[in-house]
Amino acid sequence: MKSDPVLDHLVGYRLKRAAVAADAEARRVLEPFGVTPARLATLILIRANPGCDQTALGRALSVNRSSAMKLVNLLSERGFVERRPGRNARTNALFLTPEGEAQLGAMIDAIERSDEEMAARLTPAEQKVLRALLDKLAPPDTID
C-alpha cells in the first residue's frame, strides 16, 4: 500500500495523524483514572478558573452548553467536580472537590509523562519550535 504525495503534503492531514496518535496514547494512560483527555482538560480548566460557569467552560473547550453539561455531569458523578450556587440564580459555580484536587495531580503526572514520551522523538530545541509553530496555527489564547 503506497502513500500519496498529495496526502503527505497536506499539513492538516499530518497534523491529524499526529493528533490521533497522541490522543489514543493519552486516552490509554488516563483510563485508570476514569477520565479522557477532554475530561482532564475540563478538570484543569475548572482548577484554573474556580467558580466558573458551564457556558464559559464550554467556550474554553470549544463545545456547546449541552456538551459542557455532559462533561460536568460525568465528572460530578465521579466525584471530581462540584456545582455550587453561582453569581445569580441561573448559573452554577464549578469547583473541584477535594477528591478531584487530590486525583488531578496524579492525572497530570500521567499525561505529562505520556506527552513527554511522545515529544521525546524530538530534541528539546525541536519541541520548542514545534510548540511555537502550533501556537501560530492555533493560538491557545483563542480561549475567551
Question: By CB under 8 A, is residue 140 in contact with its own copies?
Answer: yes
Interatomic CA distance for residues 68 and 55, integer angstroms = 7
- Segment 17-76, which members bind DNA (CB under 7 A)? 36, 38, 53-55, 62-67, 69-72
Question: By CB under 7 A, is residue 14 in contact with DNA?
Answer: no
Residue 45 binds which entry of its own copies, DNA, none, with Cβ cut-offs from 5 to 8 Å by kind?
Answer: its own copies
- Draw the binding track, 85-124, toward DNA (x: CB under 7 A; -: no contact): -x-xxxxx--------------------------------
What DSSP assignment string belongs to 26-66?
Answer: HHHHHGGGT--HHHHHHHHHHHHSTTB-HHHHHHHHT--HH
For 87-143, where are the E strands, in sequence order? 92-96
